[in-house]
């Protein structure tokens, strides 16, 4: 068995390369995972790809495999599905698992950090962290059946959030400028879900013909979207920002309308459970709920593109340049 692995390294803005690194031995309580697919995050990961993150920012202090900072070169990624090749734990060899780990063909990891994924198609299982993020957004929003929400940005997180909310009886308007993203969500055929083009929404807001909503969720990653989101809210409405804009500036109109209409702006993210929900939810319960949801959701509609691991640079470029038809991309390991 070879004692080295291959991983995707972010080497400079808009540049990635596959490099070798030593493969750590499997210690007690650990397993060796052979990767089959790894999903590429169209949000945070693309900020890293474009060089739009503070280089001294820790990658993720809550996940052991994501140590270090965003200073080049670094490894990143957090959605690997693979098979246990060697085990010194209670997890049997041959088990399909999910790991929050950078893109890498083989790696050792603590068994406690893995999520069993037997019974799921490996490619679709790479969407697990995006479904988890969408689920957390629905918890943070706290909307009830009959409430109205607008979701700006129908990448996988926005689309999945729209779908989960509509399934719970919320009246959802999904907004995106890209026709293939809108088409992917429309193909679900979910009651209570309407999909519209960004320009149509902007024109309605400018003509003051837009019917205000209680909550706007900004999941587009576009810094300009937050400003439009405020204009779509009803009195005392809330703009929930799911996007991370990295080092890019965000201009927000916080003048007369913001104050007189008592609007609120809040963030929503998945790394932690908010204090008001901590008595009911923890990460283990949330992940169990997400695994159940994944068995019900039409994930194949969003898992649109797969690239060979060796063609990682093509995958990132395709996402960056918004290749037609692409909603979610993953790397496939031979």
Distance from C-alpha of 290 to C-alpha of 284, rounded to nearest angstrom: 10
Place of tokens 């500036």: 249
Name the pLDDT band for 38 (thresholds 50, 70, 90).
Answer: very high
Exposure string (b/e) for 24-47, b if CB count within 10 Å is 16 or more? eebeeebbbbebbbbbbbbbbbbb
Residue 7 reports pLDDT greater than 80: yes
In 207-274, alpha helices (H): 225-231, 256-260
Residue with the bigger pLDDT between 1 and 160: it is: 160
Residue 1 reports pLDDT greater than 60: no
pLDDT tens, position by position, 162-176: 999 999 999 999 999
Name the pLDDT band for 146 (thresholds 50, 70, 90).
Answer: very high
Cα–Cα nearest to 183, from 201, 207, 159? 159
Task: Spell out the residues 6+ positions from residue 40 whose beta carbon is closer than 8 angstroms to its own.
Answer: 77, 79, 103, 315, 316, 319, 328, 329, 330, 331
Distance from C-alpha of 104 to C-alpha of 333, rounded to nearest angstrom: 9
Lowest average pLDDT, out of 11-20, 182-191, 201-210, 323-332, goes to 201-210
pLDDT tens, position by position, 251-274: 888 887 899 999 999 999 999 999
Q: Which domains does the chain have, with CATH numbers?
A: 4-126+303-332 (3.90.180.10), 130-275 (3.40.50.720)
pLDDT at 62 (0 to 100): 79
Count the neighbouring beta carbons within 10 Å of the beta carbon of residue 252. Answer: 14
Task: Spell out the residues 6+ positions from residue 300 whose beta carbon is closer than 8 angstroms to its own.
Answer: 121, 124
In the chain, pLDDT over 70 holds for what percent of residues?
A: 99
Q: What is the pTM of this model?
A: 0.96
Mean pLDDT, the chain, rounded, equals: 95
The residue-averaged pLDDT of 2-19 equals 95
Residue 231 reports pLDDT greater than 70: yes
Residue 182 reports pLDDT greater than 70: yes
Our measurement of the distance from residue 95's CA atom to the centroid of its chain's CA atoms, rounded to an integer in Å, reads 25
DSSP 276: G
Distance from C-alpha of 192 to C-alpha of 173, rounded to nearest angstrom: 9
DSSP 259: H
The residue-averaged pLDDT of 148-159 equals 98
Residue 73 reports pLDDT greater than 80: yes
pLDDT at 63 (0 to 100): 82
Contact call for residues 323 and 299 (beta carbons, < 8 A)? no
């Amino acid at each position: 068995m070879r004692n080295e692995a291959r991983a995707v390294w972010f080497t400079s803005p808009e540049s990635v390369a596959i490099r070798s690194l030593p493969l750590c031995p499997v210690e007690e309580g650990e397993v060796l995972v052979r990767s089959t697919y790894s999903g590429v995050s169209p949000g945070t990961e693309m900020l890293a790809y474009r060089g739009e993150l503070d280089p001294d920012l820790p990658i993720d202090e809550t996940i052991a495999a994501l140590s270090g900072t965003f200073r080049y070169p670094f490894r990143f990624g957090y959605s690997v599905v693979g098979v246990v090749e060697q085990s010194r734990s209670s997890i049997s060899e041959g088990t399909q698992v999910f790991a929050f780990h950078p893109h890498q063909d083989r790696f050792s990891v603590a068994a406690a950090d893995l999520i069993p994924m037997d019974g799921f198609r490996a490619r679709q299982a790479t969407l697990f962290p995006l479904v988890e993020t969408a689920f957390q957004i629905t918890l943070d929003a706290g909307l009830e059946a009959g409430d109205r929400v607008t979701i700006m940005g129908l990448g996988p997180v926005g689309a999945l959030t729209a779908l989960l909310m509509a399934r719970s009886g919320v009246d959802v308007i999904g907004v995106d400028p890209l026709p293939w993203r809108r088409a992917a969500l429309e193909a679900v055929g979910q009651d209570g879900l309407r999909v519209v083009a960004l320009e149509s929404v902007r024109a309605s807001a400018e003509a003051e013909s837009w019917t205000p909503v209680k909550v706007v969720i900004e999941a587009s990653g576009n810094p300009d979207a937050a400003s439009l989101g405020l204009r779509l809210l009803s009195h005392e409405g809330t703009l929930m920002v799911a996007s991370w804009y990295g080092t890019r500036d965000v201009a927000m109109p916080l003048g007369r309308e913001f104050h007189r209409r008592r609007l609120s702006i809040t963030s929503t993210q998945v790394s932690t459970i908010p204090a008001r929900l901590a008595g009911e939810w923890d990460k283990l319960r949330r992940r169990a709920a997400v695994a159940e949801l994944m068995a019900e959701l039409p994930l194949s509609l969003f898992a649109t593109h797969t690239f060979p691991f060796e063609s990682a640079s093509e995958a990132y470029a395709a996402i960056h340049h918004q290749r037609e038809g692409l909603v979610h991309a993953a790397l496939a390991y031979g």
